[in-house]
Structure 1
Amino acid sequence: MKLKPDVAFNICIVEDDPWYGQLLQYQLALNPDYIVTLYGSGKAFFDTVQERPDVVTIDFSLPDISGDRLLKKLVELYPGLPVIVISAQNKIATAVELLKLGATDYLTKDEYTKELLWNAVKKIRENSLLKLEVKRLEKQLHDKYDFANLLKGNSPAIQQTFALMERAAQTPVNVSISGETGTGKELVAKGIHRNSERHKGPFVALNMAAIPAELVESELFGHEKGAFTGAISRKIGKFEQANQGTLFLDEIGELPAAIQTKLLRVLQEREVQRVGGSEKIKLNVRLMTATHMNLLEEVRKGRFREDLYYRISGLPICLPPLRERNSLDIMLLAEYFLAEFCREYHKPALTLTAAARDKLIAYDYPGNVRELKTAIELAAVLSNGNEIHPADITFGISSRNNDFFAEEKTLRDHTRAVIRHYLGKYQNNVPLIAQKLAIGRSTIYKMIQDGDV
């Protein structure tokens, strides 16, 4: 990994021999990233230096202060400061004593000093850059899972959600997340996991609505080879995969009645048994669930077990729909998504006109944040120019009344279908198609070049 310095590296040389000091200064200054300052005495150094240097080299035999006293003072004043002692003495005992006092290195004055000093400072610089990189990555990891970065918004409704997420992250209890489709329930679960004591363990997510009923038991608990027709090998279930971590079951209300009983047993006994197996596997899993349903109403109707409901409820978090958040949240999300899609599609920065902003704020978003994101992505992909206008923004693209959207696809797939249709209709006349769709020719050419259409 090659680390590039962001700022200059400040080196101080304390040397009473002007000629020798200038020699060392010249040698180190050959690196343009180094700022090298020469001081003729310990007093001159302490009287002049105002900011902590990155490394200091000291002559062991200064006229105003001994090397060991100067080293002690530097270590006391700047804990952790790399100090290189340069001495005419070649005594091992002296070198060992100075290293014990906190010196980073000990060099003797000879024909190899310049080269040894160069390598010593280079190593110190590399270690310094590595520490900065580690801090940057740690901050990046923290920022990545900071609640405010996961769920953009400043409204009172979303701030209350952040407070509940913070409480959930500090406790080991199960968490039940409710809210309309598209409000970000899985993001909440991930945020809680990443900020909890289980953050080093796995986060495993499973959408119950996306699994055929006959496969749910195998997906959750796993199966042994030959347990049923088609079980050609052992399968590890989601509970085992999530051991020592968190299991997130989305759309828990879709869980078949027969599996509800088995799930309750697993949660009560904290162990799982694979389908077709006899071994009982101990579990240490935190369960988080999510649903857009009113689970209590499902309990009243007899479609969801009451005992399971209370077992998984734990700490409830209800996500507010986008229409109950303020206009500032809508615009914060819109601007964030727009910047993301401009980067993803390699487009110049786009801005929303005042009329486009008004249109975004006036809409009630039945599809919540997911719908806003999709609308912004479509506008970014098909925009022609540097601004997003109201005509570029399309809502309700998941409407079931439109045959084009009857089959659920990604926006990229829908865009491919549109471009493909027009290419066939107008015999690959890209300029005409660009005019018809009000998009740039480069967008179409790039899709053709990438094999997307």
Structure 2
Amino acid sequence: MAKIFIVEDDAMMVTLMRQTLSKNPNYEIQHFESAEDCLNNLHLNPDIVTIDYHLPGMNGVGLMRKIKSYNSAIMCVLVSGQESLEVVVDAYKSGAQDYLIKNDNLFVNLENSIANLSANVVLKKENEMLKDQIIDRHKYSNILGNSNAVLRMLRLIQKVEKSNMMVLVTGQSGTGKELVAKALHYNSPRARKNFVTVNMSAIPEELIESELFGHEKGAFTDARERRIGKFEEANDGTIFLDEIGEMPLNLQAKLLRVLQEKEVQRIGSNKTIKLDFRMVAATNRNLALEVKEGRFREDLFYRIQGFLIHLPPLKERGDDVILLAKHFLEQYAQTNKTPVATVTKEAAKFMLDYEWPGNIRELKAVMERAAILADNGSITVDDLMFVNL
């Protein structure tokens, strides 16, 4: 449903515009005779406003500027009886989505214009719903665990979530570092903006600079077109640099400058681009040792370690193992539309005694295999297949 305001002081024109737009049952239409009436009702959150250029007290462009200053997302269509190039240019510069002339084609053009804009409204609302679902998935209630280590981690996340401070998440592979990074983002003021993940260990060394900072067309042999980097993509949001300890030493100085100046320079360009982002980094390495051995810059180490969150290995989380196992079994059952498997006492004891070198990632894989192997939906020790390296 698109909410449409018609701002027009000509009663006959209002009637004809209503008749044109009322053919679509997905439009909710309201009419206002003056700019003042429209402005006093912007709290009703219209999606689209059609504005007559010649209004009493204020022209249409002036009203549109006030609407855009109230909420730039409101789409505006200026309707005028004159085809003045100066007015058209002024309208589009002020943020108009369309400009319609009051001629014989007005109502056909109006119908088409509103149809196109309302399609954008529907798409935006669907995107907002998807964002809401993603945000809900990363609420604290979705970080499972009752161990002291997990409760301490949650307290740390809550303390730092609203700030722009850089966060370093440490821990073994498979402990859930990306989950923590997402919790930091989706519980922050940046939640509705981009969350961009870069896995440093998955990018060939020669492509890392371009991937992070972007490049201009022709900057190097295979640069056939301009490409923005991950930092630009994360503007106003959060960038998550996973396995930052894998970053080549020769690029660490450039990363440090980006973090200090909050600006990037694409490869092949002399122009710097100002950005607003928050960075969360993660590593399974001992970065202090990497610094001592000359593989990681000391200044970068201190820069990224604004706020440290350490994730314990699964073997140190006690009964969280069983809690997580049940969660993964429920997930598997929901995905595959099967009954939820249960874990026998013997299997549960075995799981609590096991070292879990692959941590949560290994536990999930073991539970999914066990759910397939279990007879009568009951997981025994024999169903727990471990992959030993």
**Which interval holds the TM-score relative to the shorter structure?**
0.5 to 0.7
Q: Which residue of 1 aligns with 2:226?
A: 234
With over 3 angstroms needed to count, the CA separation of the structure-2 counterparts of 1:320 and 1:148, relative to structure 1, is: farther
Amino acid across the alignment from 1:208: M
CA drift at 1:143: 4.4
Q: Which residue of 2 aligns with 1:8?
A: none
1:347-426 equivalences under 5 Å are 347-395=338-386, 397=387, 399-400=388-389
CA contact (8 A) 1:219 1:238 kept: yes
Q: Which residue of 1 aligns with 2:182?
A: 190
Q: Which residue of 1 aligns with 2:123?
A: none
With over 3 angstroms needed to count, the CA separation of the structure-2 counterparts of 1:140 and 1:255, relative to structure 1, is: closer
Q: Is 2:214 the counterpart of 1:222?
A: yes
CA distance in 1: counterparts of 2:141 and 2:286, whole angstroms: 27
CA drift at 1:342: 1.4
Helix, strand or coil: the match of 2:169?
strand
* Structure 1 segments of 4+ aligned residues over 4 angstroms from their partners: 136-143
CA contact (8 A) 2:371 2:377 kept: no
Query: Which TM-score applies when normalising by structure 1?
Result: 0.56
CA contact (8 A) 1:209 1:251 kept: yes
Query: Which TM-score applies when normalising by structure 2?
Result: 0.65
CA contact (8 A) 1:243 1:284 kept: yes
Instruction: Decide which of 297, 313, 325 is 2:289's aligned counterpart.
Output: 297
Q: Which gives a bigger RCO, structure 1 or 2 (Cα 8 Å, sep 6+)?
A: 2
Q: Which residue of 2 aligns with 1:19?
A: none
CA contact (8 A) 1:243 1:285 kept: yes
With over 3 angstroms needed to count, the CA separation of the structure-2 counterparts of 1:229 and 1:340, relative to structure 1, is: same
With over 3 angstroms needed to count, the CA separation of the structure-2 counterparts of 1:194 and 1:139, relative to structure 1, is: closer
Q: Is 2:196 the counterpart of 1:204?
A: yes
1:55-94 equivalences under 5 Å are none
Q: Which residue of 2 aligns with 1:311?
A: 303
Q: Which residue of 2 aligns with 1:146?
A: 139
Q: Which runs of 5+ in 2 are unaligned?
A: 2-128
CA distance in 1: counterparts of 2:289 and 2:131, whole angstroms: 44
CA contact (8 A) 1:148 1:162 kept: no
Amino acid across the alignment from 1:192: L
CA distance in 1: counterparts of 2:311 and 2:239, whole angstroms: 19
Q: Which residue of 2 aligns with 1:330?
A: 321
CA distance in 1: counterparts of 2:163 and 2:277, whole angstroms: 13
CA RMSD of aligned residues (A): 1.9
CA contact (8 A) 2:131 2:192 kept: no
With over 3 angstroms needed to count, the CA separation of the structure-2 counterparts of 1:217 and 1:375, relative to structure 1, is: same
CA drift at 1:139: 8.8
1:30-45 equivalences under 5 Å are none
CA distance in 2: counterparts of 1:227 and 1:139, whole angstroms: 39
Amino acid across the alignment from 2:141: A
CA contact (8 A) 2:315 2:352 kept: no
Helix, strand or coil: the match of 2:337?
coil
* Identity between Structure 1 and Structure 2 (%): 51
- What per-residue deviation string (whole Å, max 9, x for no partner) do you get for residues 35-62 of structure 1? xxxxxxxxxxxxxxxxxxxxxxxxxxxx
CA drift at 1:383: 3.1
Count of matched residue pairs: 262
CA distance in 1: counterparts of 2:132 and 2:250, whole angstroms: 45
CA distance in 2: counterparts of 1:154 and 1:381, whole angstroms: 28
CA distance in 2: counterparts of 1:221 and 1:360, whole angstroms: 44
With over 3 angstroms needed to count, the CA separation of the structure-2 counterparts of 1:240 and 1:142, relative to structure 1, is: closer
